[in-house]
Amino acid sequence: NSKLRHVEKDVLIPQIMRDRAKELCSDKVQAFTKCCQETGVLMVVKCRQENAALKDCLVGYYSDPSFYEECKAEYLKQREEYRATGIKKKRQKFTQNV
């Protein structure tokens, strides 16, 4: 059964998309994080270029319909495994401080 509830469409699949996009844009996440750590209070002004690059990368993935379908398929696979076994599988997360 591949029917999705609203919470799955609006919350769970977008969460997978955010996690995967952060992994795929990890170089830009690291550059922005490094800039913020080095700059401190003035990060809003000094890190605009890094922030814009990170935002462009993430929005590129968020707005890609094929990326959504990949994440949806991943979610449906996880849901199917959970329904078969009753054991929730922890998803590996990107462990970079953002």
* Distances 86 to 2, 6, 78, 82 between C-alpha atoms, Å: 18, 22, 11, 5
Q: What is the dihedral angle through the alpha carbons of 18, 60, 23, 83, rounded to the nearest 10 degrees?
A: 40
Backbone phi, psi, residue 47, to 5°: -105, 25
pTM of the model: 0.78
**Cα end-to-end distance, the chain, whole Å:** 36
Q: Which is nearest to 70 in space by CA: 34, 25, 17, 28?
A: 17
pLDDT in tens, 3-49: 899 999 999 999 999 999 999 999 999 999 999 999 888 888 999 99
Domain count, the chain: 1
**Sign of CA pseudo-dihedral 84, 85, 87, 93:** negative
Residue 82 within any structural domain of the chain: no
Find the domain containing 31 and state its range: 6-75
pLDDT in tens, 65-95: 999 999 999 999 999 999 888 887 766 555 4
Residue 90 within any structural domain of the chain: no
Residues 49 and 43: beta-carbon distance below 8 Å? no
Check pLDDT > 70 for residue 51. yes
pLDDT in tens, 36-45: 999 888 888 9
Residue 13 within any structural domain of the chain: yes
Quote the CA–CA distance of 71 and 34 in Å, as a whole number. 29
